[in-house]
Amino acid sequence: MYLKRRHLEILREMKKTESQAEIEAKLPEEFQIRAIELYILGFAELEGGRIKLTDAGRKLLEISDSLNLEELPDVIADTEILKMLELLEETGKIPESWLEKLKERKLADENGLTKFGRALLQLYRETHPVVYLTPEIASFLRGMPKLGTLDELVTFKNSRLYGDNIVNALQAMRLLLISPPTEKGRAFTTTPAARLALKALSMIPVFARAIVLRKEDFEALKAGRSNAELESMGLSDEKGTTEFGKAMMETYEAMGKVEEKVLPIYLLDDELSVLRAIQEIAKKYETNPDILPTEKEIEKRVEIENLGAVLHLLESKELVERRLVKNKDTYWLTEWGREAIDFGTVSPDAMKAVTYSESGDVPIAEWVIKAQEEGVVKAGVTDKGRFYLRLSRSIKRKPFLTKYDTAILAKTPRKRYIHRDELVELVQNYVGGDEKEIIRAIGEAEAKGFVVELQNGMVKLTELGDKVKTALENAKLQEIVKVKFSVTPTLYNVLRVIYENLETFNRIWKEKGEAKGYKMEEVDVIRKHLSLSDDEIKKALTMLRELGFLGSKSLTEAGRILVEAYL
């Protein structure tokens, strides 16, 4: 959305007359640009020299009727302001500087959204903009950076001598989003609809006129109907809707749509070192089969304090796979792992810049700058960013819980948001640790799917996080939180085998003999399903019992909930 005070002034004049000439005589400043913006926004129809209110335009007039326009700033609502409104509505808390901007526009007060703020947000969600692509807008869209800081977009606009109206129009069409300001400034992104528009525009050899697609045009094309206007724009012909027309319909459908975000993957320095060590050992194995990528062999090549934790973490992301070779537990690179070595490390925040942009939401400047520093973004998403986006979308994560993950889940409340700063303090009081480490751990917990952190720093549990939190609460939480890493892919795999073969295990548990740590009959069954050594299976069974996911003769409620959370 892009709504100026002048738009409301024009709408108020439209109650008196539909003559563009009469209104322009009263409000001459850039009248034609403002009228076209009202048309794009879906608030007005332009017919010859007439300008007519749409149903959405009448609603906007109604909800803004009591406002004193002279008290309002020049820009009432743009994508930046709309994001503030959405975040305030969803989380109930935004930075004071954002709240002041909303107060200036009568969109919020000390109690939250005002009646006008709620109504405008509802109207935004109910209305659909018009596709209005002129040669100038198309040229700007083709040449502009697709994701970056706002300074970069302004520099591009000014260096090519484009007017602000181009940026306004792109916001009105929901092809461009600008973030609220944070400490590092503001960010921008084109939306998936913009990418579809560019794909459609690439089909036109010569761009001679504006391409316009309204709701009625979209419905006509969908029904296979045509008219002279649609044919003149190349959207249809005697055979029906053209390929260009279909591409423009895809653009129209995608405008304003926000998809579910992909969990952002990450890869740390220690993880990359281990991947490289496994690659080196695997090459030696080709000529010397006695050299295997065991934990001990990997340890000779890397200086990492918690190598076991790193190996589990890599396994949870499907970058390595565990296999029993010559009765030894070994680790091998997956295809994803081999490619990750080439692209290098990446942080959760850097990937959030990409995942938010890809979903139709706007990242904040901090994430974008991080993405630029790490080579994930450069005027758009790079090959590295696209690789990690594919990885994020494709893998089926397995659980890996550190001490911090457990503390974050324990201290994040259910069904409400908590500010990251408050959560950091709670975690610090619970398990100790450095503030920066905990902030990083929150980002990693988000990448694992446990929590989500929004642009205003508010954090909440995801559905998966809620289930895992319940599992931890039903287990021995006070024991779990003392362990550097509690739930690992190996422990989960063992637990899942028990869950899926419960009848067999119930028979084993009914037999005489206590299973304080493990019973050999249990080990025998698990060995048939997992490529693990007996020692690893025994360790896993012992740990599962110590932490409360497995009883001496039963699968506990905590164990059942944990398995089902990841099914």
Amino acid, single-letter form, for residue 192: P
**Per-residue pLDDT tens digits for 299-352:** 999 999 889 999 999 999 999 999 999 999 999 999 999 999 999 999 999 999
Q: Is the pLDDT of residue 205 over 80?
A: no
pLDDT at position 80: 98
Which one has a higher pLDDT value, 81 or 485?
A: 81
Judged by DSSP in three states, 52 sits in strand
Q: How confident is the model at residue 521 (pLDDT cuts 50, 70, 90)?
A: very high
pLDDT at position 541: 96
Amino acid, single-letter form, for residue 81: I
Q: Residue 445 in contact with residue 408, Cβ under 8 Å?
A: yes
pLDDT at position 209: 83
- Starting at the edge strand that comes first in sequence, how are the strands of the sheet with 147-149 ordered? 147-149, 187-190, 176-178
CA dihedral 30, 34, 36, 40 (to 10 degrees): 150
**Per-residue pLDDT tens digits for 485-512:** 999 999 999 999 999 999 999 999 998 7
pLDDT at position 516: 75
- pLDDT above 90: percentage of residues in the chain: 92
pLDDT at position 238: 87
Mean pLDDT of the 180-198 span: 97
Tokens of 208: 């001679």
Q: Residue 345 in contact with residue 267, Cβ under 8 Å?
A: yes
**Per-residue pLDDT tens digits for 545-559:** 999 999 989 999 999
Q: Residue 521 in contact with residue 541, Cβ under 8 Å?
A: no
DSSP string, 140-173: HHHHS-SEEEHHHHHHHHHHTT--HHHHHHHHHT
Q: Is the pLDDT of residue 245 over 80?
A: yes
pLDDT at position 512: 74
Q: Is the pLDDT of residue 515 over 80?
A: no
What does the angle CA 223 – CA 226 – CA 229 come to, to the nearest 5 degrees?
135
Residue recorded with tokens 């925040």: 349
Burial of residue 71 (number of CB atoms within 10 Å: 0-12, 13-18, 19+): exposed
pLDDT at position 164: 94
Q: Residue 51 in contact with residue 27, Cβ under 8 Å?
A: no
Q: Residue 225 in contact with residue 185, Cβ under 8 Å?
A: no
pLDDT at position 538: 96
pLDDT at position 499: 98
DSSP state letter for 233: T
* Cα-to-chain-centroid distance, residue 496: 29
**Per-residue pLDDT tens digits for 110-125:** 999 999 999 999 999 9
pLDDT at position 517: 83
Q: Is the pLDDT of residue 397 over 90?
A: no
Distances (CA, A) of 193 to 208, 244, 380: 22, 15, 15
**Per-residue pLDDT tens digits for 20-42:** 999 999 999 999 999 999 999 99
CB atoms within 10 A of CB 260: 6
Which one has a higher pLDDT value, 105 or 48?
A: 105
Judged by DSSP in three states, 353 sits in helix
First-last CA distance in the chain: 40
Q: How confident is the model at residue 159 (pLDDT cuts 50, 70, 90)?
A: very high
Mean pLDDT of the 458-466 span: 96
Q: How confident is the model at residue 207 (pLDDT cuts 50, 70, 90)?
A: confident
pLDDT at position 71: 96
Could you tell me how many residues make up the chain?
A: 567
pLDDT at position 551: 93
Distance, CA of 264 to CA of 447 (rounded, Å):
5
Q: How confident is the model at residue 2 (pLDDT cuts 50, 70, 90)?
A: very high
What does the angle CA 518 – CA 520 – CA 524 come to, to the nearest 5 degrees?
115
Q: Which residues contact 463 (CB under 8 A, 6 or more apart)?
A: none
Distance, CA of 62 to CA of 76 (rounded, Å):
16
Distance, CA of 50 to CA of 303 (rounded, Å):
75
Q: Is the pLDDT of residue 514 over 80?
A: no
DSSP string, 381-427: B-HHHHHHHHHHHH-------BHHHHHHHHHSPTTS-EEHHHHHHHH
Mean pLDDT for the chain?
95
Q: How confident is the model at residue 176 (pLDDT cuts 50, 70, 90)?
A: very high
Q: Is the pLDDT of residue 411 over 90?
A: yes
Distance, CA of 412 to CA of 465 (rounded, Å):
9
Mean pLDDT of the 434-452 span: 95
CA dihedral 17, 19, 20, 24 (to 10 degrees): -60
